[in-house]
Amino acid sequence: MDKDILVAGGGIGGLAAAYALAHKGAQVTLLEQSSEFGEVGAGIQLGPNVVRILEAWGLGEALRGVAAFPECLRVRNAMNGAVLGELPMGQAMVQRYGASYVTIARADMHGLLLDAVRRQGKVHLRLSSEVSRVDQDEQTVRVQTLTQNFHAPMLVGADGVWSRLRKEVVDDGAPRVTGHLAFRALVPQADLPEKLRSKVVTAWLGRDFHVVQYPVRRGEWLNVVAIVHGHVYGDPKHWDHSANAAELRTRLAGATKALRDLVHAIPNWRLWALSDRPPMRSASEHARGRIALLGDAAHPMRPYLAQGAGMAIEDADTLARVLDANPDDVPAALQSYANLRWQRNARVQARAIRNGEIFHLRGPMQVGRDLSLRLLGEKLLDVPWLYRGA
- Residues that are catalytic: 214
341: CB partners within 8 A, 6+ apart: 283, 286, 298, 314, 315, 318, 390
Q: How far apart are CA 111 and CA 209, in angstroms?
A: 31
229: CB partners within 8 A, 6+ apart: 179, 180, 181, 208, 209, 360
C-alpha 64, offset from chain centre: 19
- The size of the chain, in residues, is 390
Q: What amino acid occupies position 362?
A: R
Q: How far apart are CA 276 and CA 352, in angstroms?
A: 11
Q: How far apart are CA 48 and CA 60, in angstroms?
A: 12
Compute CA distances 367 → 28, 229, 251, whole Å: 53, 20, 21
